[in-house]
Amino acid sequence: MGPKQAWRVLTLVIMLLTAVSTVVLISLGYDAYPVLFLALVTVLVYFYVLYKRYHVEVVPGSDIMLFDDPDDLRILAGIYGLDGKGDTEELRARLIAFARSNKEKAFTWVAPRAVVAFGSVFELADGATPCTELQRPSAKNLVGGRTRSPSRRANIRACPVCDAAVESSGSICAECGADIEFYTVLSESKVGKRLISRKNVAVRRKLRYDVPTLGEDR
C-alpha cells in the first residue's frame, strides 16, 4: 500500500471518529455550536498538517545525483518512506527508482511508517536501477537545475545547515562543511526544509562540543 492510499484510510477513520464524537457529544446534551465548531477545527487542522507536511516535492533523479553526503540520502529516503539502510550507492539507486516511478508528478504523498503500516507493508514499486546509468554532473550544481550566482551567495549570512555565521564569499561552511549555496537553494522547497531540519539535528549532534551561537563572529 502506498502513502496516498494509507492516508485515505487514516483520513476516513479520523473523519468517522470526528463525526461519531460530534453526534455523541451533542446527544449527551452539549451545545451543538461549540461541538460543531470544534469538529470543524479538528478537520481543518488535520488537512492543513497533512498538506503542509506530507505532500512534498519529488526530487528528480538528476538532483539526487547532486547529494554526496550519505546522511542526506538517508534522510531523503526517510522523508519518502523508503528503506534507509545500505551504502551511498544503494540509497541513491533506491531514491532514483522512486523519482522515476513518480516522474510524472511534481509533488508526492509521503507518510510515516506507522501510517503506511496502518494499511499494509509499504512496498516500493521497484526497478532499482543502478545509478551508473545516469549521467553524473561534472561539477556540483544546484538542485532544480538552477545555476550558482555570486549575488545569491553574497546574500546568505548564515549556514542553512548549522546556522553558523558565514562570510559573503567561499562556498563551504567552515563550521560543518556544508555547501552553503546548495543547501540554501534546497531549503526553499518543502522537501528541502524537512531534509535540512533533520540534517541540522545530525550536524548539531556531531558538533556537540562546539555549537556556534547565532551571529557569532568568526
The residue ranges that bind Zn ion (CB under 5 A) are 159, 161-162, 164, 173, 175-176, 178
The residue (of 59 and 162) whose beta carbon lies closer to Zn ion is: 162
The residue (of 100 and 153) whose beta carbon lies closer to Zn ion is: 153
Element (H, E) at 34: helix 32-54
Distance CA 6, CA 209 (A): 41
What is the closest distance, in whole angstroms, from the C-beta atom of residue 172 to Zn ion in the complex? 9
What is the closest distance, in whole angstroms, from the C-beta atom of residue 212 to Zn ion in the complex? 8
User: Are the CB atoms for 73 and 67 separated by under 8 Å?
Assistant: yes
The residue (of 84 and 212) whose beta carbon lies closer to Zn ion is: 212
How many CA atoms lie less than 13 Å away from 120 in the CB half-sphere? 5
User: Is the backbone of residue 211 left (phi > 0), alpha (psi -120 to 50) or beta?
Assistant: beta
The residue (of 150 and 177) whose beta carbon lies closer to Zn ion is: 177
The residue (of 164 and 186) whose beta carbon lies closer to Zn ion is: 164
Place of cell 497533512: 50
What is the closest distance, in whole angstroms, from the C-beta atom of residue 153 to Zn ion in the complex? 14
What is the closest distance, in whole angstroms, from the C-beta atom of residue 158 to Zn ion in the complex? 8
Q: How many CB atoms lie within 10 A of CB 196?
A: 21
Distance CA 146, CA 137 (A): 13
The residue (of 77 and 164) whose beta carbon lies closer to Zn ion is: 164
What is the closest distance, in whole angstroms, from the C-beta atom of residue 166 to Zn ion in the complex? 7
What is the closest distance, in whole angstroms, from the C-beta atom of residue 187 to Zn ion in the complex? 12
Distance CA 82, CA 21 (A): 35
Picking from 215, 149, 103, 163, the residue whose alpha carbon sits closest to that of residue 95 is 103
